[in-house]
Structure 1
């Protein structure tokens, strides 16, 4: 039995009898979602926030928030969708508005949502994260 007003994990909840914007987003294959990926040829690509400049968790989180705006200013719900549901929107909100260094899984979901499968971006973020973790944060 599927309760009404709750989305089924496989897509739109047909029991609701109508399709909302969220139902259509969730039923759209992620490969067809328009994603503004950072492309090196774009003007301003080198002006993207650099996580390697962060010296503490507060600076790292500020860099994450700035990177989010630079990458496309996605909402927390859009981030959840773009990372394949690996992290919930409420977790994105808590972590990005918090003060502690995020966990590795969260970081990878964030980078995936913002930059897709760009290995260079993943390496930059993981290197900065590991440096802060090894410093005791």
Structure 2
């Protein structure tokens, strides 16, 4: 699936049909690729991966995102941009992760993809927590 297809909640966005150039750009190898290190292995019997399901507010959710970023590899904002295929710019990662507002869906999916790769279970876990907080905020 193309990056523009993965980041849409209901499938590919038809408004992006003219983005073949974007898919081609995102699939072009870079001279010095960022290697995704394996996440820190948890001690047997313990779960150290930050869990977004425990967050009740936007502030708690963002704190969990910051902790998850450190757990996943402590990527720089530029590395996150590369790891999500350029779907979100490094400046946007900085603004959102250092801000206090609940991120949008596309940002969230780009963040989880950058940190965890193509893990559908991880995306689902983050989406569920995000949706619950968003609904409780009346959005």
**Which band: TM-score by shorter chain?**
0.7 to 0.9
Give 1 or 2 for the bigger CA radius of gyration. Answer: 1
Seen in structure 2, the aligned counterparts of structure 1 residues 119 and 37 have a Cα distance that, compared at 3 Å, is farther
CA drift of 1:65 comes to 0.2
TM-score, scaled relative to structure 2: 0.72
Query: What root-mean-square deviation, in Å, do the aligned CA atoms of Structure 1 and Structure 2 show?
Result: 2.3
CA drift of 1:112 comes to 0.3
Query: Which residue does the alignment assign to 2:116?
Result: 115
Query: Which residue does the alignment assign to 1:86?
Result: 87
Query: Which residue does the alignment assign to 2:42?
Result: 43
Distance 2:89 2:30 in 1: 13
Distance 1:131 1:76 in 2: 26
State the aligned residue count: 111
Deviations 1:56-98 (A, max 9, x none): 0000000000000000000000000000000000000000000
Please say if residues 39 and 73 of structure 2, whose CA atoms lie closer than 8 Å, have aligned partners that are also in contact. Answer: no
Matches within 5 A, 1:48-127: 48-127=49-128
Distance 2:133 2:70 in 1: 23
Please say if residues 83 and 109 of structure 1, whose CA atoms lie closer than 8 Å, have aligned partners that are also in contact. Answer: yes
For the residue of structure 2 that corresponds to 1:81, the secondary structure is helix
CA drift of 1:118 comes to 0.9
TM-score, scaled relative to structure 1: 0.73
CA drift of 1:48 comes to 0.5
CA drift of 1:34 comes to 2.0
Please say if residues 26 and 81 of structure 1, whose CA atoms lie closer than 8 Å, have aligned partners that are also in contact. Answer: no
Of 82-91 and 44-53, the range deviating more from structure 2: 44-53
Q: What stretches of structure 1 of length at least 5 have no aligned partner? A: 1-9, 12-24
Please say if residues 37 and 115 of structure 1, whose CA atoms lie closer than 8 Å, have aligned partners that are also in contact. Answer: no
Q: What stretches of structure 2 of length at least 5 have no aligned partner? A: 1-24
